[in-house]
Amino acid sequence: MAKPNDDFEIQFFEGVLKRNPSDTEVIELLGERYTKQGRIDEGLRMDRRLVRLAPNNPTAHYNLACSLALKRRKADAVRALRRAVEVGYVDLKWLREDPDLASLRNYPAFLEIEADIALRQKSNKGKPERS
């Protein structure tokens, strides 16, 4: 059930977005709030919009994958997740724990993505971070 504060935040961010339709931070925040309230279709719409505006943002693709997984669109969710990894998503621990991705846990393509991230992490150990 939505809390009054959630409703206020959504209304606030919707107002900001009307004034600045390309504000990627607001689009991301609004998508998160919609999804949190169970408004998955609206969250998915925001995630798609964010991916169009920020095509190299790994979090945008990850959030899109989450929304698609919540809609039980496994193949589409995996495609978005693969793209998230391609553009830099590496948080294997959260990928394995995220409740939004629960419907993908035993999906073979999801397991391949897990293995890919684990391999990337393993191959990057000991390499200095770029500054």
Cα–Cα distance list, 60 to 5, 34, 97, 107 (Å): 24, 15, 18, 22
Euclidean distance between CA atoms 80 and 77, whole angstroms: 5
Query: How confident is the model over 28-42, as pLDDT tens digits?
Result: 999 999 999 999 999
pTM: 0.88
Euclidean distance between CA atoms 32 and 29, whole angstroms: 5
Task: Report CA Rg, the chain.
Answer: 16
Query: How confident is the model over 43-74, as pLDDT tens digits?
Result: 999 999 999 999 999 999 999 999 999 999 99
DSSP for 103-131, please give it. Answer: GGTT-HHHHHHHHHHHHHHHHHTTSPPP-
Residue with tokens 């998160």: 32
Query: How confident is the model over 108-117, as pLDDT tens digits?
Result: 999 999 999 9
